[in-house]
Structure 1
Amino acid sequence: MLKMEGVSFSYHRSKPTIKDLDLSVEMGKITTIVGPNGCGKSTVLKLASGLLKPQTGRILLNGENISYLSRRSAAKQVSVLFQNSQIPDMTALCAVEAARYPYQSPFAGCTKEEKEMSEYAMELTGCKEYWHKHMAELSGGERQRVFLAMIYNQDTPLILLDEPTTYLDIYVTYEIMELIRYLNKRKKKTVVMVLHDLNLALQYSDSVILMNQGRIFNIHSTGDDQILESIRTLFGVEVRSFRDNQNSYYCFAQSVDNDKIILD
């Protein structure tokens, strides 16, 4: 579905951000990209969405070069939520309805069927109760629910998420992650996301891509115990892990310099 071949990109000519990247994303799975700050994680998503164009190499969506797709055609294949997405100047319902734009005539509004689809998307993501509120009035968690409703309503097989739980408290974080899992497992959406939280990456992903300095450092399934060694090497921390009765995977990172324990 999503394939990158020899992709390079740089914001500044003297300092490459992405270097000769080869990557294939497995359909129907949740793939999470982790790595140190500034390693190029968010840039990979921007390239995959078509927001940025690779300076070398190519990016294929279902076998088609994304650089040659129209914005409307690309929007039928991939939807994206960036970390600092602009807050639409409209109500929550209008924002969700606007996500149907790839399928609408430029001169026609929402059909009755599309309005029903929008209401269902809001019900599915738990934000129908504040459909009438302006987006600026919503809390961070409420806004993320609306953004996920927009992504669901856009109805693309591929979803890209850049730090979808940033600035959210623990309870809301897990609510959002469960919604993402639901979209993957029940609605068969392929998800690629960037996360800083290693515990969330290990619990909610099928595979984890570790990046460093614009390159892929390693790729592991979350059931592969070798992922812990890759985390140790990449982040320079000692790692302990355990599984609970539900087989959820937790990771504790310990500084190599002292005994301070940090929960990732």
Structure 2
Amino acid sequence: MNHTIKAQSITLGYGGKVIIPKMDIVIDKPEIISIIGPNGSGKSTLLKALSRLLVPLAGCALLDGKDIYQLQPGQVAKIMAILPQTVHAPGDMTVCDLVAYGRMPYKKIFEKLASDDQECITAAMEATGIQQMLHRRLDSLSGGERQRAWLAMALAQEPRILLLDEPTTYLDIHHQLELMKLVRKLHQDMQITIIMVLHDLNHAARFSHRVIAVKDGLLFADGPVEEVFTVENLRALYGVETTIMTIDQGGSSHLVCFPHDSCLKKEDGCAPAVR
């Protein structure tokens, strides 16, 4: 079953300060979607609203046509899982215990895990490649291993929609690529919708089907990678000149961008310098 998530005339902010004055978005099929834009543009704010972590100032976030804030948390958690930018757990907790928390939406208070829960936990750890870390403490894991453990916890919820807020933050390039390839494999194997906030434009272009670009709290562009990932759009979004190329890799092709000059005079249309 496909699930639909919508931002409908949504206004978002913190402490009376409006970050997103009004926005409409519809996500209604299983694909990988990246939300891009400059710092402070409202990317993470939008993701929080879609995931029931931030109450809109006006408008609403809808999950399958129902106001997400009128649904019970357990109802939402059986459809949607989120991995925020910053997550915390006791360092002495084992990987297995962390992943087991993903089954909480399906359990009553103090109810023990059943065999089907254990199967979901095992499947989540196998999907993320951490089954050999079963009994390791979280404080013994590398950054990449820890990110996989948290991702496994989210997958143990059996979500149909997975939201990731800057999942490659603090990871080196090797672990960034491993995580992004894992995200793509999860989508392919499970046919779930994955919505990510990303700063790395090349990751967004390579691993996404759709890109949502946000600037100054407004929806700047929304569509397939080829339509959004253009020199003109990146110039308007970031004030930087880029060269965009198509490269072939692993039997498939994808776009990459190379930033090379800042636009210092926006009133001049950000024309590239002539040398």
| Cα shift at 1:86 | 1.7
| Cα shift at 1:243 | 1.4
Bigger mean CA deviation after superposition, 193-202 or 115-124? 115-124
CA RMSD in angstroms, aligned pairs only: 1.5
Bigger mean CA deviation after superposition, 86-95 or 159-168? 86-95
Question: Per-residue CA shift, 1:109-137, capped at 9, x if unaligned?
Answer: 11122112212211121111111012122
**Which of 137, 148, 153 pairs up with 1:150?**
153
**Which of 135, 140, 144 pairs up with 2:138?**
135
Are residues 1:248 and 2:250 paired? no
Match of 2:267 in 1: none
CA distance in 1, matches of 2:122, 2:90: 18
Match of 2:109 in 1: 106
Match of 1:40 in 2: 42
Q: 1:108 to 1:225 in 2, by over 3 A?
A: closer
Amino acid at match of 2:179: I
SS at structure 2 position matched to 1:167: coil
**Which of 46, 70, 76 pairs up with 2:78?**
76
Amino acid at match of 1:249: L
SS at structure 1 position matched to 2:14: coil
Q: TM-score, normalised by structure 2?
A: 0.89
Amino acid at match of 1:58: C
Are residues 1:115 and 2:115 paired? no
Unaligned runs of 5+ in 1: 259-264
CA distance in 1, matches of 2:21, 2:44: 14
Q: Percent identity?
A: 37
Are residues 1:212 and 2:215 paired? yes
Are residues 1:197 and 2:200 paired? yes
Conservation of the 8 A alpha-carbon contact between 2:99 and 2:153: yes
| Cα shift at 1:225 | 6.7
SS at structure 1 position matched to 2:230: helix
CA distance in 2, matches of 1:122, 1:201: 25
Q: TM-score, normalised by structure 1?
A: 0.93
Q: 1:223 to 1:129 in 2, by over 3 A?
A: same
Match of 1:163 in 2: 166
Q: 1:250 to 1:219 in 2, by over 3 A?
A: same
CA distance in 2, matches of 1:227, 1:79: 31
**Which of 22, 33, 50 pairs up with 1:20?**
22
Conservation of the 8 A alpha-carbon contact between 2:247 and 2:253: yes
Q: How many residues of Structure 1 are paired with residues of Structure 2 in the alignment?
A: 257
